[in-house]
Amino acid sequence: MTAYRQELTPVSFLERAGTVYAERVAVIDGDRCYRYGEWRARSRRFAHALRAAGLKKDDRVALFALNSEPLLLAHLAVPQAGGVLVAINTRLNESEVAYILEHSGARFVFFSPELGPLPGGIALGDDFEAFVQTGEDAPVESWLEDEYDMIAIDYTSGTTGRPKGVVYHHRGAYLNGLALALENRLRADSVCLWTLPMFHCNGWCHTWALPAAGACSVSIPRVDPPQVWRLLEEQGVTHFNAAPTVLIMLANDPAAHRLSRRVRVCTGGAPPSPTLIAQMEELNIEIQHLYGLTESYGPFTLNVMQPGVSELPLEERARFMARQGVAHVAAGRQRVVDEEMRDVTPDAEALGEIVLQGNVVMKGYYRDPEATATAFRGGWFHTGDVAAMHPDGYIDIRDRKKDIIISGGENISTIEVEQAVMSHPDVLEAAVIAIPDQKWGEVPKAFVTMKPGRSLSEREVIEHVRERIAHYKAPREVEFGELPKTSTGKIQKYVLRDKAWAGQGGWAVGRAEPGLPKRGGGPPRKQAGRVN
Amino acid sequence: MTAYRQELTPVSFLERAGTVYAERVAVIDGDRCYRYGEWRARSRRFAHALRAAGLKKDDRVALFALNSEPLLLAHLAVPQAGGVLVAINTRLNESEVAYILEHSGARFVFFSPELGPLPGGIALGDDFEAFVQTGEDAPVESWLEDEYDMIAIDYTSGTTGRPKGVVYHHRGAYLNGLALALENRLRADSVCLWTLPMFHCNGWCHTWALPAAGACSVSIPRVDPPQVWRLLEEQGVTHFNAAPTVLIMLANDPAAHRLSRRVRVCTGGAPPSPTLIAQMEELNIEIQHLYGLTESYGPFTLNVMQPGVSELPLEERARFMARQGVAHVAAGRQRVVDEEMRDVTPDAEALGEIVLQGNVVMKGYYRDPEATATAFRGGWFHTGDVAAMHPDGYIDIRDRKKDIIISGGENISTIEVEQAVMSHPDVLEAAVIAIPDQKWGEVPKAFVTMKPGRSLSEREVIEHVRERIAHYKAPREVEFGELPKTSTGKIQKYVLRDKAWAGQGGWAVGRAEPGLPKRGGGPPRKQAGRVN
């Protein structure tokens, strides 16, 4: 080792925090509370315990766990031991979990008692504590050879194919953690409430950003709105992260009230609606819209506010804030390209696919060179998201490549239609998908959840939309009810689509627009690993 | 290039700021003002102009210039062009500047008209503007091959030997810039006043940290206290950096007044005294004490405040804040070691040399493999600073290796004696050095500057000190008058020493203490490249 090279790794954040922020609270989880000095000791013990139990460099250590202090700890302790963390989505079913354990070749498995038992696994709780105590509180010799060594494998939730294992390396985790601490203004006196699952892109890398800043984590196993509102006040929370659907749930809870201190919230997975933005402002919550995928360690772009935007009327402000924005300070470059990798005209109209390049792009899919090569064709990571580029360099997602509706040869952005539906004051949430149509190929259909005690007719919804956007974009059908969601609160359009397209499997639409990637027939379509 | 690797370079900060912060002010310099959009265009023009004029990769581009927008611009434009910036200390004399131009092999030279002309150079002003305009405003193809490529050479101000060229690479500049933006809480609405020379460790890497955050620079050619006080208010300054001597000058200026907004000030080169800390607090200025050297890209450690410290009485608070602290989030590791590279006992007493390792340590001395090898012996950079390690991991500098006084076999920290002298309310500043003594080997001598209109006798100063620290540490002699200072406001002890030791050149002291590096005889001694 030369004096001027040190491999970049987020493990250094905790090692440093254990000294610099020794007396500051690192984690609160129910009755348990650890200061950074104690918590570093705990990480070292866990790391030594893993080694004593036989862990070799790059061995995979899987956690199938709800948000909790041990899951957060594993984000530091497993890489400190030289292992690779596999934090599994807790909403997956038994066979999916079995597949991930098998595919990742996990040598150690830990699980929340509520979710287990898993064969050969150790339950979080007394068993886990006993395991950790077998390790000593002493510095852990680093086995890191190169900052490109694996730190984590995050499995996407495949719906048709098998889940894919997205490989993160130490360098990317370090840089994303550092950049998010800066961009999200984390400091040693910040307090972050874990409304986002830690398994999700490693908690948008906040599992590493928080110790970088010496900030405090408040862990909750699941989003229970009254509890969230209570903790926001009791713990002096300054930051949390959540998908818009979770924010809608929080804003409409009876416990919702204006907070005494300003709270910063990062949100992603869908653009925040004008209604939501207004509600959040009334609650004293500042929204930061961001965008990324599992393949980009979570957040890659941010909607950076421009001077003057905060003074705009709500609708205009919301239109600006709905854009996904620009690459964050350490992210690299985002482009919007056509099928030949040419940049689309940055006119906020022309559509293309978002491609990414930089230090916070995954290393590849674990044990899947074919999928890796496809994703990286042309030297850029292909997101599968269809967007327009604004003249000021902000990207603006119009759809998932597989969601966009092609009706009579015209593109219809399901997001645009959803926002028109949701602008109705009685609507809580909406999702729009393509349904087959003999004449137009596809037409939009809306699935709508009403606010409690409100009701609308199909006609009223359609009329509301026709007053706002082009008539051909209005839904042909409207269905009312609950929307199916992922563990992170994202609406599962493929479930709606599966239902609508049942029996239409072989029905080929066979159209492709210039500037848009070609698409095949109907569902089942594949769900990619979006941020939410 | 793979999709997941991008060479780290601070040039990316400006390229991004030109989009994300296009409408925000990047630099104000007198009547001139550039927004980031325009300023990126200007950097691209400058870079293209350099290439058109014959710049090849790694060619050195020297600036002998006062703080100004062109010098700040050169920190981005020169590396963007593929060149290496040599920002020369403006207080050096003609032969020193000639040596640096010769040693660095500078292919381009730019100079402030007030300081020039330099042979073959281009004057900042109309000539420079004409030169920049020869370049086009178009993206600049990167010639960066590796993030370890040179970005700058910072010459230390040698006093006996020749100046040494400290080589910075893109990776270190990127990481230090990003980390300082985080640690110093820079944001897009921050405004930094350039009271620190930009040539000094590239402005403690703030030349790169500010565009990373999208913050605004206010450039001034020199520290003129009434102007500083005016600009602090007029420009809404939130941050500045300066050595304690500069802060003393500002605090004692008739224009000093309590600021309406809180301002963060980083200071280094000497610990801030209790008096200074109290004065700054009254002025609504928050002090952040930091430490580093030219060889560590400026700041390496920070005095991170601990919970409860701000409530301590002034003297105790100042004692805590006088420590140099802990490595910042991207800095790496600092140790305090004896001659065999063993860590000294962390008891706040045992003395050793500070050694550093990490990504913000220089690559070496330019064209000087011998000095590089000496500085890097044992795989660590040797600072030449003597410190104690506190049990909480904070380093506490007691002296320069060459400054420490060895009197009757006991170590005397000149810093400790200086602080005892300066605790007298009538004293403005003090410097303590060793003078030869036939019986004790060395004894302390104090040089004291009184506050205007105050006077003390030699006896009164000595008595004041004896009431505070061990008697053998009290100065044997006291001399009153102005103190010689460097361009950055640091007291030049070697000037005092040269005077005191005149005619004692061959007088060998020949003692070495365990735990302290061996030392030779009297002066002339070499001045290292401290942060100030």
**Residue in B5, B330, B356 closest to A178 by CB:** B330
Model pLDDT for residues A384-421, shown as the tens digit of each residue: 999 999 999 999 998 877 788 888 877 788 888 998 99
SS3 A216: strand
Predicted confidence at residue B241, as pLDDT, reads: 97
Sequence ranges of chain A with CATH classification 3.40.50.12780:
223-401
- Interface A:B, Cβ pairs < 8 A: 108
Cα distance between residue B239 and residue B193, in whole Å: 6
Model pLDDT for residues A183-194, shown as the tens digit of each residue: 999 999 999 999
**Residue in A4, A22, A392 closest to B359 by CB:** A4
User: For residue B71, which of B56, B61, B81 has the smallest C-alpha distance?
Assistant: B61
Q: How confident is the model at residue A441 (pLDDT cuts 50, 70, 90)?
A: confident
Please say if the pLDDT value at position A170 is more than 70: yes
What average pLDDT does range A24-53 have in this prediction? 98
What average pLDDT does range B163-184 have in this prediction? 97
Contact criterion met (CB < 8 Å) for B178 and A330 = yes
Please say if the pLDDT value at position A509 is more than 60: no
Scan residues 312-351 of B and list those with Cβ closer than 8 Å to A.
326-327, 329-330, 332-333
Question: Which CATH number does A7-18+33-183 carry?
Answer: 3.40.50.980
Please say if the pLDDT value at position A523 is more than 80: no
**Mean pLDDT, all residues of chain A:** 90
User: For residue A275, which of A245, A243, A314 has the smallest C-alpha distance?
Assistant: A314
Q: How confident is the model at residue A263 (pLDDT cuts 50, 70, 90)?
A: very high
**Residue in A23, A179, A329 closest to B306 by CB:** A23
What average pLDDT does range B491-511 have in this prediction? 62
Q: Is B519 on the interface with A (CB under 8 A)?
A: no
**Residue in A21, A212, A381 closest to B3 by CB:** A381
Cα distance between residue A482 and residue A85, in whole Å: 35
Instruction: Point out the least confidently predicted range of A67-76, A137-146, B132-141, B401-410.
Output: B401-410
Model pLDDT for residues A308-331, shown as the tens digit of each residue: 999 999 889 988 999 999 999 999
More confident residue, A403 or A236: A236
Predicted confidence at residue A347, as pLDDT, reads: 97
What average pLDDT does range B216-231 have in this prediction? 97
Predicted confidence at residue A42, as pLDDT, reads: 98
Predicted confidence at residue A436, as pLDDT, reads: 87
Q: How confident is the model at residue A527 (pLDDT cuts 50, 70, 90)?
A: very low
Cα distance between residue B178 and residue B340, in whole Å: 34
Interface test with A, best of B15, B182, B354 (most A CBs within 10 A): B182
Instruction: Point out the least confidently predicted range of A440-454, B28-42, B102-116, B142-156.
Output: A440-454
Tokens 């889940």 found at: A163
Helices then strands, counting H and E runs in chain A, come out as: 16, 25
What average pLDDT does range B288-301 have in this prediction? 96
Q: Is A357 on the interface with B (CB under 8 A)?
A: yes
**Torsion from C-alpha of B489, B493, B495, B499, nearest 10 degrees:** 150
Cα distance between residue A194 and residue A221, in whole Å: 8
Q: How confident is the model at residue B502 (pLDDT cuts 50, 70, 90)?
A: confident
Contact criterion met (CB < 8 Å) for A4 and B179 = no
Predicted confidence at residue A518, as pLDDT, reads: 33
Q: Is B455 on the interface with A (CB under 8 A)?
A: no
As a whole number of angstroms, the longest Cα–Cα distance in chain A is 71
Model pLDDT for residues B199-214, shown as the tens digit of each residue: 999 999 999 999 999 9
Is the ipTM here above 0.95? no
Please say if the pLDDT value at position A480 is more than 90: yes
Q: How confident is the model at residue A508 (pLDDT cuts 50, 70, 90)?
A: very low
3.30.365.10, 3.30.930.10, 3.30.300.30, 2.40.50.70: which CATH number matches B404-500? 3.30.300.30
Predicted confidence at residue B161, as pLDDT, reads: 67
Alpha-carbon gap: A391 to the closest alpha carbon of chain B (Å): 10
What average pLDDT does range B92-115 have in this prediction? 94
Decide if B291 contacts B529 (C-beta within 8 A). no
Model pLDDT for residues B416-426, shown as the tens digit of each residue: 899 889 989 99
% of chain B residues with pLDDT over 70: 93
Predicted confidence at residue B158, as pLDDT, reads: 55
Highest mean pLDDT among A426-440, B369-383, B389-403, B438-452 belongs to B369-383
Peptide bond preceding A346: is omega within 30 degrees of 0, i.e. cis?
no
Interface test with B, best of A329, A337, A353, A389 (most B CBs within 10 A): A329
Phi then psi dihedrals of residue B36, to 5 deg:
-60, -35
Interface test with A, best of B286, B309, B329 (most A CBs within 10 A): B329
**Residue in B6, B23, B179 closest to A307 by CB:** B23
Contact criterion met (CB < 8 Å) for A178 and B178 = yes
Alpha-carbon gap: A183 to the closest alpha carbon of chain B (Å): 8
Instruction: Point out the least confidently predicted range of A322-326, A476-480, A491-495, B184-188.
Output: A491-495
Q: How confident is the model at residue B413 (pLDDT cuts 50, 70, 90)?
A: confident
Cα distance between residue B455 and residue B442, in whole Å: 27
**Mean pLDDT, all residues of chain B:** 90
Cα distance between residue B46 and residue B134, in whole Å: 8
Please say if the pLDDT value at position B472 is more than 50: yes
Q: Within its chain, how far is the Cα of B309 from the centroid? A: 26
**Residue in A5, A23, A356 closest to B307 by CB:** A23
Report the top-level CATH class of A403-500.
alpha beta
- Hey, what CATH topology would domain A223-401 get? Rossmann fold (3.40.50)
Q: Within its chain, how far is the Cα of A159 from the centroid? A: 17
Model pLDDT for residues A120-144, shown as the tens digit of each residue: 999 999 999 999 999 999 999 999 9
Scan residues 182-201 of A and list those with Cβ closer than 8 Å to B.
182, 185, 187-188
Cα distance between residue B263 and residue B192, in whole Å: 10
Angle subtended by helix axes B11-20 and B206-213, to nearest 10:
30
Q: How confident is the model at residue A216 (pLDDT cuts 50, 70, 90)?
A: very high
Instruction: Point out the least confidently predicted range of A143-152, A510-519, B57-66, B227-236.
Output: A510-519
Q: Find, in chain B, the residue whose alpha carbon is nearest to that of A391.
A: B19
| Assigned token pair, A68 | 């909790």
Model pLDDT for residues B340-349, shown as the tens digit of each residue: 999 999 999 9
Predicted confidence at residue B1, as pLDDT, reads: 60
Contact criterion met (CB < 8 Å) for A359 and B4 = yes
Cα distance between residue B259 and residue B242, in whole Å: 17
Alpha-carbon gap: A326 to the closest alpha carbon of chain B (Å): 7
How do A191-194 and B410-412 pair as beta strands? unpaired
What average pLDDT does range A511-518 have in this prediction? 32
Cα distance between residue A47 and residue A50, in whole Å: 5
Q: Is B4 on the interface with A (CB under 8 A)?
A: yes
Q: Find, in chain A, the residue whose alpha carbon is nearest to that of B393.
A: A19
Predicted confidence at residue A1, as pLDDT, reads: 60
Please say if the pLDDT value at position A522 is more than 50: no
Contact criterion met (CB < 8 Å) for A6 and B358 = yes
More confident residue, B524 or B213: B213
Cα distance between residue B416 and residue A323, in whole Å: 57
What average pLDDT does range B128-133 have in this prediction? 98
Within 8 A of A327 by CB-CB distance, chain B residues are: 16
Scan residues 363-402 of B and list those with Cβ closer than 8 Å to A.
363, 376, 379-381, 392-393
> What CA–CA distances, in Å, run from A72 to A14, A19, A130, A148, A292?
12, 19, 18, 22, 21
Q: How confident is the model at residue B131 (pLDDT cuts 50, 70, 90)?
A: very high
Q: How confident is the model at residue A487 (pLDDT cuts 50, 70, 90)?
A: low
What average pLDDT does range B486-490 have in this prediction? 68
Predicted confidence at residue B35, as pLDDT, reads: 98
**Residue in A3, A20, A304 closest to B20 by CB:** A304
Alpha-carbon gap: A484 to the closest alpha carbon of chain B (Å): 34
Query: Long-range contacts made by residues B154-157, C-beta under 8 angstroms, separation at least 24?
Result: B154/B86, B154/B87, B154/B199, B154/B201, B154/B202, B154/B294, B154/B529, B155/B86, B155/B88, B155/B89, B155/B100, B155/B103, B155/B104, B156/B294, B156/B527, B156/B528, B156/B529, B157/B89, B157/B91, B157/B92, B157/B96, B157/B486, B157/B527, B157/B529
SS3 A351: strand
Contact criterion met (CB < 8 Å) for A358 and B6 = yes
Predicted confidence at residue B280, as pLDDT, reads: 95
Alpha-carbon gap: A355 to the closest alpha carbon of chain B (Å): 10
Please say if the pLDDT value at position B99 is more than 90: yes
Q: What one-character DSSP code corresponds to residue B92? A: S
Alpha-carbon gap: A186 to the closest alpha carbon of chain B (Å): 8
Within 8 A of B393 by CB-CB distance, chain A residues are: 19-20
Contact criterion met (CB < 8 Å) for B4 and A306 = no
Please say if the pLDDT value at position A96 is more than 50: yes
Predicted confidence at residue B315, as pLDDT, reads: 85
What average pLDDT does range B280-299 have in this prediction? 96
Q: Is A1 on the interface with B (CB under 8 A)?
A: yes
Q: Find, in chain A, the residue whose alpha carbon is nearest to that of B331.
A: A6
Model pLDDT for residues B231-240, shown as the tens digit of each residue: 999 999 999 9
Model pLDDT for residues B33-59, shown as the tens digit of each residue: 999 999 999 999 999 999 999 999 999
Q: How confident is the model at residue A511 (pLDDT cuts 50, 70, 90)?
A: very low
What are the residues facing B60 on neighbouring strands?
Answer: B84
What average pLDDT does range A432-459 have in this prediction? 91
Peptide bond preceding B313: is omega within 30 degrees of 0, i.e. cis?
no
Is the four-CA dihedral A529, A531, B2, B5 of positive or negative sign?
A: negative
Sequence ranges of chain A with CATH classification 3.40.50.980:
7-18+33-183
Contact criterion met (CB < 8 Å) for A329 and B13 = yes
